[in-house]
C-alpha cells in the first residue's frame, strides 16, 4: 500500500496526509496495481541476479578446470564461445573494458606535435588530419578513445614516433570492466539454420495483452 503516517492517513507525493476515506477508488486500484507489479518485478530482478551469479560461477569453474587439465596458467580475460557437443547451443561470454588515459596523454600529444613539426611537416596532410582528429574532444570534453588507439596501428619506423606510442601504451588504464553473457540456439525454422538469441531482456520479449471476451 501507499506510504501512511501514524494515524493511517495516506501520504501524497509531497508528504501531505490524506484521510483514507477521501482517496478515490480508482486511486486505490492504481496504487494496488503499481505496488503489486513492482513487488513482483523486484523479486524477478533478485532471481535474475541469483541465477546470473550461479551461471558466471559455473562458467568460471569450467574454465579453471580446463586450464588445470591442460597444465596452462590462463586468466581467461578475453571473449569466449562455448558450444555443446552438437554445436546447436552456444554461450558467449564477453568482457567489455572501458579504457581511459592518465596524465601522460598530454606528453603523447606534445611528442607527436614535435614529431610532426620536425619530420612530417606538410608532406602528408592526411596523416596530420588523422592525428588531429585523434586528439580532438567532443562537446563534453571527452577524447575519442577509438581514434587514439588507431594511432598504434600506424606503422611508422621512427624513434620519436615509437617513443610517443610507448607513452600512449603506458598512459592506458582500464576504467571499468563489464561481463556480458549471450545465449543462442540454432533454429531449424530459420533459413539456413540460423542462430536465435535467447532473450533475457524483459522489454525484448514480445507479449500481447490477453483479449477478454465480453462478460468475462
Which residues in the chain land under pLDDT 50? none
Residue 122: the pLDDT is 56
Residue 206: the pLDDT is 80
- Please report which helix (H) or strand (E) contains residue 181, including its range: strand 172-186
Residue 16: the pLDDT is 95
Residue 30: the pLDDT is 95
For residue range 82-118, what is the model confidence (pLDDT) as tens digits?
999 999 999 999 988 788 888 888 898 888 888 888 7
Amino acid at each position: 500500500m501507499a506510504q501512511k503516517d501514524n494515524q493511517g492517513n495516506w501520504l501524497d507525493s509531497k508528504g501531505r496526509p490524506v484521510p483514507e476515506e477521501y482517496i478515490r477508488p480508482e486511486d486505490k486500484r492504481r496504487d494496488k496495481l503499481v505496488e503489486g507489479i513492482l513487488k513482483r518485478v523486484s523479486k524477478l530482478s533478485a532471481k535474475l541476479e541469483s541465477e546470473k551469479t550461479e551461471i558466471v560461477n559455473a562458467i568460471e569453474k569450467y574454465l579453471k578446470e580446463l586450464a588445470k587439465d591442460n597444465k596452462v596458467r590462463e586468466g581467461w580475460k578475453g571473449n569466449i564461445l562455448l558450444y555443446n557437443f552438437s554445436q546447436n547451443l552456444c554461450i558467449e561470454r564477453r568482457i567489455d573494458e572501458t579504457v581511459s588515459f592518465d596524465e601522460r596523454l598530454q606528453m603523447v600529444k606534445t611528442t607527436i606535435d614535435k614529431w610532426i613539426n620536425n619530420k612530417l611537416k606538410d608532406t602528408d596532410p592526411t596523416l596530420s588530419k588523422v592525428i588531429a582528429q585523434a586528439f580532438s574532444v567532443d562537446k563534453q570534453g571527452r577524447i575519442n578513445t577509438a581514434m587514439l588507439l588507431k594511432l598504434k596501428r600506424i606503422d611508422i619506423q621512427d624513434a620519436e614516433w615509437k617513443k610517443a606510442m610507448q607513452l600512449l601504451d603506458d598512459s592506458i588504464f582500464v576504467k571499468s570492466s563489464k561481463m556480458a553473457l549471450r545465449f543462442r540456439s540454432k533454429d531449424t525454422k530459420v533459413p539456413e539454420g540460423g542462430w536465435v538469441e535467447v532473450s533475457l531482456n524483459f522489454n525484448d520479449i514480445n507479449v500481447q495483452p490477453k483479449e477478454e471476451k465480453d462478460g468475462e
